[in-house]
Amino acid sequence: MAVLTSQQDDFPRWYQEVLTKAKLAENGPARGTMVIRPHGYAIWERMQAEVDQRIKAAGASNAYFPLLMPLSFFEREAEHVEGFSPELAVVTHGGGKELAEPLAIRPTSETVIGEYMAKWIDSYRDLPLLLNQWANVVRWEMRPRIFLRTTEFLWQEGHTAHASESDARQYARKILREVYQDFMRNVLAVPVMSASRPHANGSLEPPTP
């Protein structure tokens, strides 16, 4: 089936039509959500497998943490919650009753993963602790677009603890080089360059491919 809309004349409509005709994905029943069809999900699975094998080769292990977390987890870190507050989805009722404490639907998992990493690390002998999670997250998106910006989306997040800042920085560079850059260049054939983002949302010079 041919794509009827011109990319130059109406890019958003052209993009939506390509996804529909290719049977990759379509809009979900709630605003900002999407249904990933079998063709689209097969592409995700191939990408996930490529990245996952690189993450494991770098020494990290997969784990899974809850979708729901007490809102107080976010409030412990004022800067963190400030950065995500406009995008945060909060559950206030469950089982027909108002909850004693609201539950945040994860926009990211730093706070809950950090809580459990602190429990699992007793001494320097437990370091480094290298964890990876494949999950869905929810961020209340004002201008959703399938695969680019949606309210709910699939992603991968890595969380590690190290004996020193230098070890942490060295491992971050290793992941950037051996996982993300290698995947982008050698699997997706996308040229990349690395850079550091400014301090934001509790992060310190996070490197990005």
| Residue 24: DSSP 8-state | S
Which structure tokens are listed for 168?
């942490």
Q: Quick one: pLDDT band at residue 7, thresholds 50, 70, 90?
A: confident
pTM of the model: 0.87
Average pLDDT over residues 67-95: 81
Quick check: 162 and 128 in contact, CB under 8 A? Answer: yes
Q: For 105-137, what is each residue's pLDDT tens digit? A: 999 899 899 999 999 999 999 999 999 999 999
- Distance, CA of 153 to CA of 146 (rounded, Å): 9
Mean pLDDT, range 24-50, rounded to an integer: 96
Q: Per-residue pLDDT averaged across 162-180, rounded?
A: 96
pLDDT of 96 > 90? The answer is yes
pLDDT at res. 207: 62
Least confident of 69-78, 146-155, 179-188: 69-78
Q: What is the mean pLDDT of residues 53-79?
A: 90
> Quick check: 196 and 205 in contact, CB under 8 A?
yes
d(CA 184, CA 60) in angstroms, rounded, equals 19
Q: Cβ contacts of residue 177 below 8 Å, gap of 6+?
A: none
41-188: which CATH number, 3.30.930.10, 3.40.1370.10, 3.40.50.300, 3.30.470.20? Answer: 3.30.930.10
Distances from the Cα of 44 to the Cα of 48, 100, 134, angstroms:
6, 38, 12
d(CA 190, CA 185): 5
What confidence score (pLDDT) does residue 113 get?
A: 95
Side chain identity at 24, as an amino acid letter?
A: L
| Domain residue extents for the chain | 41-188
